[in-house]
């Protein structure tokens, strides 16, 4: 009985001390920011959360709410770094929340870069999202779409070698996506790699499910 009480007391003391590990200055700055956050005054809350992280670079709550403030302001790319840090530092349920918010920020950042024509940046954000959540079908689908557009742009610019890389990634991730095979075959043809193009066309013809899809590849044959 004594041992059980002793263990319980130790756990209670450790739990209480965990909150004390955050410096007083960091806690005060965080609380000021949190009050503004709950009032919807996200822009004004940000400096307090930033100050809190400066006082204590391992204060997960401060990074989490800094990221949330940026998200609520629509500043998706600015939200990514603090949410990355929150994800790395946060335990338990807070870690799950940080994961979900980080993925939202990464998808938003990817779409922002895509609209600017920065396809490489968009791809990198989506790949980071898949590193965080490898089972996300939404991230996988968005990455495939982005790789296909990126490959098509590279192909139109005459950069067949890099286009091959992007289309190959898309085909690896979505083996039944005919658009990936079509782009890859065209990229090989542009490179002058007819043998590789024929291999891709044959693979695509075996996978194609409609006459329309098959005709697209047959039209590429000499």
Q: Residue 201: inside a domain, yes or no?
A: yes
Q: Residue 130: inside a domain, yes or no?
A: no
Residues in the chain: 222
Is residue 143 pLDDT above 80, yes or no? yes
- pLDDT band for position 204 (50/70/90)? confident
Same domain as 218, residue 151: yes
Contact 154, 166 (CB under 8 A): yes
Write the pLDDT tens digit of every residue in 107-118: 999 999 999 999
Q: Residue 152: inside a domain, yes or no?
A: yes
Alpha carbons 126 and 108: distance in angstroms, whole number: 10
Is residue 10 pLDDT above 60, yes or no? no
Is residue 162 pLDDT above 80, yes or no? yes
Is residue 17 pLDDT above 70, yes or no? no
Return the higher-pLDDT residue of 141 and 93: 141
| Dihedral angle, C-alpha 212, 217, 219, 222, nearest 10 ° | -160
Q: Residue 177: inside a domain, yes or no?
A: yes
What's the mean per-residue pLDDT of the chain? Answer: 88
Same domain as 140, residue 106: no
Alpha carbons 107 and 142: distance in angstroms, whole number: 8
Q: Residue 2: inside a domain, yes or no?
A: no
Same domain as 140, residue 77: no
Span of 10-19, 46-55, 79-88, 174-183 with lowest mean pLDDT? 10-19
CATH number of the domain where residue 171 is located: 1.25.40.10
**Which domain does 52 fall in, by range?**
23-116
Q: Residue 164: inside a domain, yes or no?
A: yes
Q: What is the pTM of this model?
A: 0.82
Looking at residue 39, the DSSP 8-state letter turns out to be: T
Residues 67-91 have a mean pLDDT of: 94
Alpha carbons 175 and 185: distance in angstroms, whole number: 14
Q: Please count the structural domains in the chain.
A: 2
Same domain as 145, residue 195: yes
Q: What are the C-alpha distances in Å from 106 to residues 51, 60, 97, 122, 125? A: 24, 19, 14, 9, 5
| pLDDT over 70, % of the chain | 90
- What pLDDT shows up at residue 222? 63
Residues 79-86 have a mean pLDDT of: 96
- Environment class of 60 (CB within 10 Å of its CB; exposed 0-12, middle 13-18, buried 19+): buried
- What pLDDT shows up at residue 160? 96
């Amino acid at each position: 009985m004594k041992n059980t009480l002793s263990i319980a007391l130790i756990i209670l003391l450790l739990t209480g001390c965990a909150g004390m590990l955050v410096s007083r200055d960091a806690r005060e700055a965080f609380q000021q920011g949190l009050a503004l956050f709950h009032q919807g005054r996200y822009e004004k809350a940000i400096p307090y959360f930033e100050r809190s992280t400066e006082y204590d670079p391992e204060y997960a709550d401060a990074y989490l709410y800094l990221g949330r403030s940026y998200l609520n302001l629509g500043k998706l790319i600015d939200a990514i770094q603090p949410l990355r840090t929150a994800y790395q530092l946060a335990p338990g349920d807070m870690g799950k929340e940080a994961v979900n918010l980080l993925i939202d920020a990464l998808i938003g950042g990817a779409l922002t870069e895509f609209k600017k024509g920065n396809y490489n940046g968009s791809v990198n954000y989506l790949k980071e999202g898949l590193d965080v959540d490898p089972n996300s079908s939404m991230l996988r689908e968005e990455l495939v779409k982005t790789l296909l557009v990126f490959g098509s742009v590279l192909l139109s610019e005459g950069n067949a070698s890099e286009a091959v890389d992007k289309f190959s990634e898309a085909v690896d991730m979505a083996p039944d996506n005919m658009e990936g095979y079509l782009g890859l075959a065209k990229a090989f043809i542009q490179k002058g790699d007819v043998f590789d193009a024929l291999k891709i066309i044959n693979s695509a013809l075996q996978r194609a499910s409609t006459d329309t899809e098959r005709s697209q590849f047959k039209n590429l044959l000499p």
